[in-house]
Structure 1
Amino acid sequence: MSSIIKKIALSGSAIFLLMQLYQPERNIDYVRVSPMHFFKTFSVPAKVQDVLQTSCFDCHSNNTNYPWYSYVQPVRMLMDSHINEGKENLNFSEFGTYSKRKQRSKLDRMIKQIKSDEMPLASYTMIHRNAILTNENKALLLKWIEKKSDSILANN
């Protein structure tokens, strides 16, 4: 019986070590702020930029700040899945490519998710404590996003 357990443990360790060889391309765009970036599309106050970068950009832009554990599989695969899903829903790096209607829809969705504490995800803030939105940060974001969303509506 113990030889079977040893074989299983050895096989599991070998598979884990082989998994570490798989290191896919990282979500890093070396053009930090493209012409289509959210910050180029809108004039965003510095405080709002700071909050968005801290709480949103790792999953919702083309520039993720990877922590040390992102080099460990299968953690990295889970991270990549979250990043890809986040960017499908909202990508600040490509916000300027969205139609005005889609931009307003994305801003309205951000408002709803901030108000309902859906974003940032609890699984993200559990490790990234600095990404938790304080009441002050929520109020700052909501005020600015609501104003910007209204201005898009007024310009259509």
Structure 2
Amino acid sequence: MKKIIVVLLVAFIIIQFFPIDKTNPPPTPGMDFLKIKNTPEKIASTIRTSCYDCHSNETEYPWYTNISQASWWVKNHINEGRKHLNFSTFAVYEPKRQLHKLEECIEMVEKKEMPLESYYLGHQNAKLSDEQRAELSQYFKKVKEDTERRIMFNK
């Protein structure tokens, strides 16, 4: 039993020498959702605090990502989050895809599916109040309506 513990401990230590890549893609202000949609500062701040770590190229990695096993889990969440929605590259989405992403934002916020509960463990400030959820939902609906009008106008 003692040998197994020693082997596991050595493996744990060796694994620490293989960190994740914490480099964020370069910023693209002309493609960022908050910039292109002229998001009011209060809403922008909420989105930055509660969404941007996983859904943008502006991830701020917490201290526990220095532990390999935790970092793999966090990096996977970030990769998945960016794959589903990346606010940093929102402008490159086709208008119909933007509409779909906005619909998903509304749904995830209203159903309290985002941010993930697990995200709150290390980010208490990201927890959204009912008032903030209502504001975000209303804002995403407004942006969606504006996008729909733009699509109709350009036909």
Matched, 1:17 2:27: no
Distance (Å, rounded) in 2 between the aligned partners of 1:93 and 1:25: 19
Matched, 1:26 2:22: yes
Matched, 1:60 2:55: yes
Cα distance per residue 1:29-57 (max 9 Å; x no partner): 453x5321112321100001100010000
Cα distance per residue 1:93-118 (max 9 Å; x no partner): 11010011111110111001111000
> Equivalent pairs: percent with the same residue?
34
The within-5 A match list for 1:1-156 is 5-31=1-27, 33-156=28-151
Distance (Å, rounded) in 2 between the aligned partners of 1:113 and 1:97: 22
Per-residue deviation, 1:68: 0.9
Q: CA RMSD in A?
A: 1.2
Please report the TM-score for the alignment, with normalisation by the length of structure 2: 0.93
Distance (Å, rounded) in 1 between the aligned partners of 2:133 and 2:20: 34
Distance (Å, rounded) in 2 between the aligned partners of 1:63 and 1:111: 22
Cα distance 1:27–1:139, how it changes in 2: closer, same or farther (>3 A)?
Answer: farther
Cα distance 1:27–1:134, how it changes in 2: closer, same or farther (>3 A)?
Answer: farther
Cα distance per residue 1:54-110 (max 9 Å; x no partner): 000000011211111110010000001000000010000110100111111101110
Which runs of 4 or more aligned residues in structure 1 lie more than 3 Å from their structure 2 counterparts after TM superposition?
none
* Amino acid aligned to 1:55: S
Distance (Å, rounded) in 2 between the aligned partners of 1:44 and 1:96: 14
Preserved CA contact (<8 Å) 1:27 1:63: no
* Amino acid aligned to 2:49: T
Aligned residue-pair number: 151
In structure 1, stretches of 5+ residues that fail to align are none
Distance (Å, rounded) in 2 between the aligned partners of 1:92 and 1:30: 13
Distance (Å, rounded) in 2 between the aligned partners of 1:125 and 1:153: 33
Distance (Å, rounded) in 2 between the aligned partners of 1:44 and 1:27: 26
In structure 2, stretches of 5+ residues that fail to align are none
Per-residue deviation, 1:149: 0.2
Please report the TM-score for the alignment, with normalisation by the length of structure 1: 0.92
Cα distance per residue 1:129-148 (max 9 Å; x no partner): 11111111111111111111
